[in-house]
Structure formats: structure tokens, C-alpha cells
């Protein structure tokens, strides 16, 4: 149901609290607790109720402001509003004429609050939930429906031929991938050719990242990556020694004007290192790793620090089982910490998932939230037996080759 808003009424409701000095303070000696009380009517009979608080006199001015905003609300459907709530908020607070009365302060903002409170009330009623639950469920539902955005490293490992690169990239594009990581760092001319090839295939609007796996020193990293700037990488990953915090800071500073960030973390060995990377503005993307840091405990600490520094987390997952594990952490990060998907994505590599009892599920280039109990670490017993070193069949065959 769309719940079209067909009417807005606003009433001036005042309680004579000043008679008994309820609510009095040093500046507001005689408040009459009052409200501009808004009711939204919809075509299906559902109503939304909202208010803003005033102290009596002047409530009639807030009513006028609410009436001025009404034309921006009446006629819209709840669906239309909540599908772009940010846009609707802006519409109310940035009307070219009304904003002169604020902007976003005073009477016009009190009126905005009353109207928006009524819209939120209507939405929560339409969903049959108290507002707090609507808010809490919102991010969870979004993840359950859409999943967490992923990027793929599987098209462009360093040892792949150009032919392989092209084939894998074209397959990935068909499956909906829009974010790609390319391994670089061994030979500059090769890197330029390979990155240009990928950029050409994925087009300007897809995202490209590059990963050097610590191959360079600081000066080399800056000059090498500058040569690759034409392919517009979002980040350079592990440009130099993972322990060189100040080196990463220097690289970050040098590459910032080119719009290239520094990502690192897959070999960042503990939270104290991450703390210093963050304090030194030495990275612009935090790559937590479920298996290098001290499990969930230490990863949670890093997620919280990244949030404090407002640095996006894009976990590392290139390895066996890492996709399975880290998807849990990044979902927690989104639902409970960051609530933000800008510049955020989790790595995905397309190998070895078949050996796990609850393999990661990717749909349309998104991690779908795992539903099985546990941390998705369990391997199939048959896989463990076959791959156990050196007794498993796979290794016996290799050794006897
Ligand atoms: C040796 C690993 O495959 C490494 O190259 C993974 C990596 O750097 C990544 O996934 O990022
Ligand atoms: Mg890497």
C-alpha cells in the first residue's frame, strides 16, 4: 500500500502549567507546556501524528510555519518519501524561499520537526512497529534483502594472462560485478597495460583498486602509482612494508591530490598498529583480516577505532575461508557501528568455498548474510581428509608426481 498523504492538520494545544510553576527555570519562569500538533491523513485511513514542543505564546507562529510546509508533504505517498528520505528532508529544509526563515533553526525548524515526526510516526504505524524497532530493523532488513557490497579480486591475479584477464572480467561484468581489484607491482609497463585493459572493459563508472603486496619502498610507491593514476584507482593497497606507518602516511599525502587512497591491513598485526596508522592518517581504507588479528575480539576494537576516525573499513578476504569469516564482521560493522556504505565493500575471491559447510553466498556482487549458526569456519570432513598435509590424497598425488 502506498499510503498517499491527503491532508495535514495542525493544532495549537496548550497546557496551563505556569499556573503551578511546573517546568519553570531561571529563564523560562512561566512556561505553559504546549505543542504544535500535526496529524497526517492518508487515503487508506492510516494517520500519522507528530508534534513539536513550545512554551505557550508563539505556538500560533509555529502553526503558520507548519502550514507553509504542508504543500511539500500533502500529495506525496509514504513510499515516495521513505524511498528517498534524505531527499525529502532536504526538500523540507532547503525550500528556496522558506529556508530564508532559518535555515534549519528557529520557528521553521520546529515546524519541520513536527511535520517529520508525523511522517516517521506514519511510517512506523504502516510497518506495524514502534519507531525504535523500525530504526533497528531498517539496516538489518536492508542487509537481508540486498546484502553487503563486495568487490572481486578474482579477475586479475598477477600471474593471469591478458586473455584470462579479459575472459574473467567479461564474465564478472555479466554477473553484476562493478568493483575490481588488480594486482600490480612487478613490472610497471605490464601494470599500465593490464590496468588500462581492465579499466577499458569495466568503464569509467566502475571502481578499480590496485594491490602491490608491499613490493615497493616509499618513493618508488609514489612514482609507480602516479604512473597508474590515469586508470583512476580508488586505492593502492599495501604499497610498502606493512610496518612502515610513517611511510604509508607519506604515500597517502603524496597520492591524495591524485584522488588515490592508501589501503592496508591484511598484514597489520595488531590493534596498536591500526591505532597508529589511524592517528598518523596513514591509511584511508582499513582492511581488517579475520584471521591475522586476534579473532573477533581484536577486530571489534579495530572496527570501533576506524569508526572514531571515520575511515571506511573494507575487509581483506583473499585467502581460504577469509570470505566466510569476515562477512560476519562487516555485517556487524554496518548494523551496529558505521551504518554507512559509502566507499565500503568487502573483498571476495572466488576460490575454495566448496570446502566449507556454510560457504559465503554472493548475489549480484553482494554478500548475502549467512543464516547458519556459527562463524562459518567448518570445513567438510572429506575436504579436510583429502587436503591434510602430507597424508591427504591430494598431497600424496602431488608428492608422487
Ligand atoms: C597471497 C594472497 O593471495 C594475497 O595476494 C591476497 C591479497 O593481497 C588480497 O586479497 O588483497
Ligand atoms: Mg591485498
- The pLDDT tens digits for 16-58 are 999 999 999 999 999 999 999 999 999 999 999 999 999 999 9
**Cis, peptide link before residue 103, omega less than 30° from 0:** yes
- Which residues are CB-neighbours of 118 under 8 A, at least 6 positions away? 8, 38, 39, 40, 48, 49, 50
Q: What is the pLDDT of residues 232-259, one digit of tens each?
A: 999 999 999 999 999 999 999 999 999 9
Hey, what's the cell of 390? Answer: 602430507
Same domain, 169 and 116: no
Q: How far is C-alpha 379 from the chain's CA centre?
A: 30
C-alpha dist (Å) from residue 211 to 28, 236, 360: 61, 6, 23
Looking at the structure, do residues 146 and 122 belong to the same domain, yes or no?
A: no
Residue at which a domain ends, from 85, 107, 128: 128
Q: What is the DSSP string of 350-370?
A: -SSGGGBSS--EEETTEEEPP
Question: Could you identify the atom of ligand 1 that is nearest to the CA of residue 213?
Answer: 8
Confidence of residue 399 (pLDDT cuts 50, 70, 90): confident
- Ligand 2 centre distance from Cα of residue 176 (Å): 22
| Residue 183 bears catalytic tag | yes
132 confidence band (pLDDT: 50, 70, 90):
confident
Q: How confident is the model at residue 1 (pLDDT cuts 50, 70, 90)?
A: low
- In the reported structure, the alpha carbon of residue 75 is separated from the centroid of ligand 2 by a whole-number distance in angstroms of 51
Task: Tell me, in angstroms, the distance from the centre of ligand 1 to residue 157's CA.
Answer: 9
Grid cell digits, residue 227 = 604512473
Query: What residue owns the CA closest to ligand 1's atom 2?
Result: 318
The answer to whether residues 376 and 360 touch, using CB atoms and an 8 Å cutoff, is yes
Q: Is the Cα dihedral 328, 331, 332, 333 positive or negative? A: positive
Higher pLDDT, residue 192 or 296: 192
The Cα 277–Cα 245 span in angstroms is 6
Q: Picking from 141-145, 202-206, 229-233, which range would have the lowest pLDDT averaged per residue? A: 141-145
Report whether 181 contacts 157 (CB < 8 A). no
Residues 223 and 273 in one domain: yes
Residue 273 covered by a domain: yes
Cα of 315 from ligand 2 centre, angstroms: 10
Residue 201 sits in a domain whose CATH number is 3.20.20.120
Of 71, 100, 128, the domain-final residue: 128
Residues 6+ apart with CB under 8 A from 339: 139
- Say yes or no: 211 and 253 in one domain: yes
Q: Kindly state whether residue 399 falls inside one of the protein's structural domains.
A: no
Distance between CA atoms of 392 and 385, rounded to whole angstroms?
6
Ligand 1 centroid to 183 CA: how many Å?
Answer: 9
C-alpha 175/C-alpha 379 separation (Å) is: 27
| Same domain flag for 112 and 252 | no
Q: Please state, in angstroms and rounded to a whole number, the distance separating the CA atoms of residues 77 and 2.
A: 6
CA gap 86, 105 in Å, rounded: 18
List the residue whose alpha carbon is closest to atom 10 of ligand 1. Answer: 318
40: which strand partners?
8, 48
Nearest-CA residue for ligand 1 atom 9 is 318
377 grid coordinates: 569456519
Query: Which grid coordinates belong to 181?
Result: 581489484
Angle, nearest 10°, between helix axes 85-93 and 106-127? 160
- 63 with 178, same domain: the answer is no
Q: Within a domain: residue 133?
A: no
Residue 238 CA: which ligand 1 atom is closest? 8
* Pairing assessment for the beta strands 235-237 and 261-264 based on DSSP bridges: parallel
Q: What's the rounded Cα separation, in Å, for the pair 77 and 140?
A: 24
Residue 397's pLDDT is what? Answer: 85
The whole-chain average pLDDT of the chain stands at 95
Tell me if 74 is assigned to some domain.
Answer: yes
Of the bound ligands, which one is closest to the alpha carbon of residue 157? 1
316 tagged catalytic: yes
> Could you give the 3-state DSSP secondary structure of residue 376?
coil
Quote the cell numbers at residue 62. Answer: 509555529
Instruction: Name the residue at shortest CA distance from atom 7 of ligand 1.
Output: 318
Q: Give the span between the Cα atoms of 386 and 357, in whole angstroms.
A: 15
**Structural domain includes residue 136:** no
Which residue CA neighbors atom 11 of ligand 1 most closely?
Answer: 318
pLDDT at position 135: 83
ipTM reported for the complex, 2 dp: 0.99
Both 92 and 115 in one domain: the answer is yes
pLDDT, residue 382, reads 97
Ligand 1 atom closest to Cα of 237?
Answer: 11
Do residues 122 and 145 both lie within one domain? no
Range of the domain at 108: 5-128
Question: Which three three-digit cell numbers place residue 9?
Answer: 492538520
Q: Is residue 30 part of a domain?
A: yes
Segment holding 30, helix H or strand E: none
pLDDT of residue 79: 94
More confident residue, 212 or 397: 212
Q: Output b/e per residue, 115-129; b: 16+ Cβ within 10 A.
A: bbbbbbbbbbbbbee
Whether pTM exceeds 0.95: no
394 found inside a domain: no
Catalytic residue among 248, 316, 355, 366: 316
Tell whether the model's pLDDT for residue 372 goes beyond 70: yes
What percentage of the chain reaches a pLDDT higher than 90? 93
Last residue of some domain: 67, 95, 128? 128
pLDDT at site 186: 96
> Could you report the per-residue pLDDT of 259-275, keeping only the tens digit for each?
999 999 999 999 999 99
* Torsion angle defined by CA atoms of residues 19, 24, 30 and 34, in that order, rounded to the nearest 10 degrees: -80
Angstrom distance (rounded) from CA 382 to CA 395: 14
- Residues 6 or more apart whose CB falls under 8 angstroms from that of 199 comprise 208, 231, 232
Residue 101 and residue 173 share a domain:
no
Catalytic residue among 109, 183, 328, 366: 183
Residue 55 sits in a domain whose CATH number is 3.30.390.10
Number of structural domains the chain divides into: 2
- Taking the C-alpha atoms of residue 281 and residue 243, their distance in angstroms, rounded to an integer, is 14
In terms of domains, do 175 and 81 share one? no
Q: How far is CA 284 from the centre of its chain?
A: 14
Q: Cell triple for residue 283?
A: 591509511
156 domain-assigned = yes
Residue 148, C-alpha cell as written in the block: 553487503
* CB-defined site of ligand 1, < 6 Å: 153, 211, 213, 266, 316, 318-319, 347
> ω into residue 81 within 30 of 0, thus cis?
no
Q: What is the mean pLDDT of residues 341-370?
A: 96
Are 149 and 291 contained in the same domain?
yes
pLDDT of residue 134: 86
How far is the C-alpha of 367 from the C-alpha of 321, rounded, in Å?
14
What is the pLDDT confidence band of residue 193, given thresholds at 50, 70 and 90? very high
Question: Which whole number is the average pLDDT over 340-350?
Answer: 95
Are 147 and 117 members of one domain? no
Amino acid at each position: 500500500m502506498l499510503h498517499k498523504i491527503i491532508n495535514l492538520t495542525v493544532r495549537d494545544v496548550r497546557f496551563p502549567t505556569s499556573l503551578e510553576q511546573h517546568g519553570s527555570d531561571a529563564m523560562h519562569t512561566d512556561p505553559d507546556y504546549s505543542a504544535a500538533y500535526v496529524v497526517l491523513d492518508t487515503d487508506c485511513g492510516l494517520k500519522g501524528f507528530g508534534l513539536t514542543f513550545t512554551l505557550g505564546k508563539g505556538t500560533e507562529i509555529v502553526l503558520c510555519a507548519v502550514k507553509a510546509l504542508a504543500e511539500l508533504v500533502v500529495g506525496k505517498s509514504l513510499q515516495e518519501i521513505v524511498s528517498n528520505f534524505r531527499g525529502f528532508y532536504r526538500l523540507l529544509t532547503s525550500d528556496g524561499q522558506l529556508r530564508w526563515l532559518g535555515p534549519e533553526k528557529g520557528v521553521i525548524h520546529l515546524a519541520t520537526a513536527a511535520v517529520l515526526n508525523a511522517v516517521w510516526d506514519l511510517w512506523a504505524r504502516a510497518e506495524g512497529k514502534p519507531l525504535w524497532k523500525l530504526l533497528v530493523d531498517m539496516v538489518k532488513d536492508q542487509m537481508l534483502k540486498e546484502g553487503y557490497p563486495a568487490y572481486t579480486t578474482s579477475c586479475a591475479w598477477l600471474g593471469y594472462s591478458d586473455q584470462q584477464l579479459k575472459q574473467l572480467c567479461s564474465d564478472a561484468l555479466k554477473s553484476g560485478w562493478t568493483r575490481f581489484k588488480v594486482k600490480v607491482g612487478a613490472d610497471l609497463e605490464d601494470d599500465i597495460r593490464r590496468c588500462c585493459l581492465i579499466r577499458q572493459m569495466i568503464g569509467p563508472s566502475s571502481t578499480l583498486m590496485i594491490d602491490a603486496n608491499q613490493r615497493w619502498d616509499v618513493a618508488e610507491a609514489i612514482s609507480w602509482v602516479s604512473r597508474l593514476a590515469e586508470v583512476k584507482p580508488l586505492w593502492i593497497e599495501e604499497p610498502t612494508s606493512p610496518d612502515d606507518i610513517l611511510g604509508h602516511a607519506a604515500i597517502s599525502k603524496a597520492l591524495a591530490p591524485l584522488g588515490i587512497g592508501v589501503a592496508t591491513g591484511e598484514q597489520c598485526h595488531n590493534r596498536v598498529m591500526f591505532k597508529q596508522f589511524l592517528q598518523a592518517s596513514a591509511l584511508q581504507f582499513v582492511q581488517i583480516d579475520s584471521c591475522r588479528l586476534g579473532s573477533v575480539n581484536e577486530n571489534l576494537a579495530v572496527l570501533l577505532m576506524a569508526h572514531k576516525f571515520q575511515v571506511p573499513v573494507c575487509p581483506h578476504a583473499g585467502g581460504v575461508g577469509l570470505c566466510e569469516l569476515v562477512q560476519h564482521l562487516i555485517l556487524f560493522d554496518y548494523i551496529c557501528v558505521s551504518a554507512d556504505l559509502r566507499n565500503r565493500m568487502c573483498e571476495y575471491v572466488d576460490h575454495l568455498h566448496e570446502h566449507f559447510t556454510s560457504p559465503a553466498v554472493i548475489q549480484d556482487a553482494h554478500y548475502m548474510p549467512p543464516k547458519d549458526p556459527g562463524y562459518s569456519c567448518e570445513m567438510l570432513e572429506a575436504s579436510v581428509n583429502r587436503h591434510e598435509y602430507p597424508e591427504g590424497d591430494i598431497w600424496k598425488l602431488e608428492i608422487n608426481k
